[in-house]
Structure 1
Amino acid sequence: MNININKLVIDMGKTQIKTALILEDIVEVNKWLQQRLLESFIGINIQQAYSIQEAKQLLIKQQYELALIDLSLPDGKGLEIIDWLAVHASETISIVVTIFEDDQYLFEAICHGAKGYLLKDLNEDIFQRYLQQIADGQYAFSPCMTQKLLSYVKANELSNQQKKQKLQSLNLTNREKQVFSYIAKGYQVTEIAYELDLSSYTVSDYVKSIYRKLNISSRAEAALLAQQYGLI
């Protein structure tokens, strides 16, 4: 994920955010976030929304450098606004501010384009420190969420290494591995031939060789084996 940030004004050695949107339906929390922004960035212009619809109306009228977004709103999910910003205002920094600590919400938010994930129980000073970190172009995640990300990356790297080792153990040529991956995805011989710029006869020969080497006899077996070896 790439963070695109406007050229920001420097004030007393710190990066300054001049405009921000808060999307939070709980009045007290919305005010709390407003206060954190006011204390972090002198002269900041803040707009507050309490629903998805209200946020959309504000976004149509103005662009913001920063958006603090709750995930659960009365009329929908905050992810909808993150998606909107990714398409229509990609320079806006979208930060999730939520009570949800689940991996599912974290990874979903990142996939939708969030540049940070902060929990609402953070200390005021720590929260403001994260705000400045965001303004300086860094990602911002609550400590427990950072640990989840690191654990995910580590597990994913281990899984990829294991799949790579398995793949290397396959008694297939590089071209056969290519054909094998297409077979497993459900491609027909003519389709594979088109994708690889080969004749159908050549692909048919590859298929026979692959089935013989792997001791399989159906596409279902090919799909299962390809998945195990990380080809799909």
Structure 2
Amino acid sequence: MNQEAVKVLLVDDQPLLRMGFRLILEGEDDLCVVAEASNGIEALAAVEKFDPDVVLMDVRMPFMDGIAATLKITDSRSDARVIILTTFDLDEYAFAGLKAGASAFLLKDVAPAELINAVRLVASGDAVVAPRVTQRLLEDFVRSQPARVPLPQDPLLDGLTPREREVALAIAQGLSNAEIAHQLFLSEATVKTHVRRILTKLHLRDRVQVVVYAYETGMVTPSNPDY
């Protein structure tokens, strides 16, 4: 195995799906499937043993589902990033997975090239898979929920500079670093620095968590077209 290769753990209770994903991923020199698991309990053991960089995680599985397993992985000392596998792109489980700490979600019938690109992007930590789809998922989910009393502003937001708040809102729009740089007249390097600081100050894992955070705290709402 190439020591620089991204280590991938496949978690799904369907052996044929795991086989298909393995064939696709192992056709790339920079990707390596280090283990497979058929449920959440096996997934946790495999994360501990093989220290993967990326976990492709099914949702509906026996013994422990993918949401519970994702939460345990992201709450652990593991640096593994989780991609939730769903059947429908607006599935409520996809939102639950993102809320549990997943870095992205993909449809199970994803095209091979998109799967490969998604694993690379999530492993790099610099991008969110299909950010606008993620945004649509969150907007639809929030709209479907009963009206809630607005929460007090999170004190952590007070630690953001005005520019960092602008960047956070742009991330919540689903913009890439290049698009944020263009919109705010900044260099991409400066945007990356702001993103790192935002994640640190808000105690968030990655960019998709900024999107979830923005909707949950009311920084942005589906009814506000500017965001």
TM-score by length of 2: 0.54
Matched, 1:139 2:139: no
Within the alignment, does 1:149 sit opposite 2:124 as a pair?
Answer: no
8 Å CA contact 1:40, 1:131 repeated in 2: no
Specify the SS of the correspondent of 1:73.
coil
In the alignment, which residue of structure 2 is the partner of 1:86?
Answer: 74
Match of 2:94 in 1: 106
Q: Which runs of 5+ in 1 are unaligned?
A: 1-8, 164-229
Note closer, same or farther for the CA distance 1:134–1:59 as it changes in structure 2 (3 Å cut): closer
Q: Give the secondary structure class of the aligned counterpart of 1:76.
A: coil
- Superposed displacement of residue 126, structure 1: 2.0
Q: Which residue of 1 aligns with 2:197?
A: none
Provide the aligned C-alpha RMSD in A.
3.4
Q: Normalized against structure 1, the TM-score is what?
A: 0.53
**How much has 1:50 moved relative to structure 2?**
1.2
Amino acid at match of 2:69: I
CA distance in 1, matches of 2:104, 2:23: 19
- Superposed, 1:4-43 pairs within 5 Å as 17-42=5-30
**Which one-letter code corresponds to 1:35 in the other structure?**
L
CA distance in 1, matches of 2:88, 2:112: 18
**AA at the equivalent of 1:78:** G
Percent sequence identity over matched residues? 20
1:125 matches 2:113: yes
**What is the CA–CA distance in structure 2 between the aligned matches of 1:106 and 1:68, rounded to whole Å?**
13
- What is the match of residue 68 of structure 1? 56
Measure the CA separation in 1 of the matches of 2:134 and 2:7. Answer: 26
- The aligned amino acid for 1:95 is I
Could you tell me whether the CA contact under 8 Å between 1:18 and 1:41 is conserved in 2? no
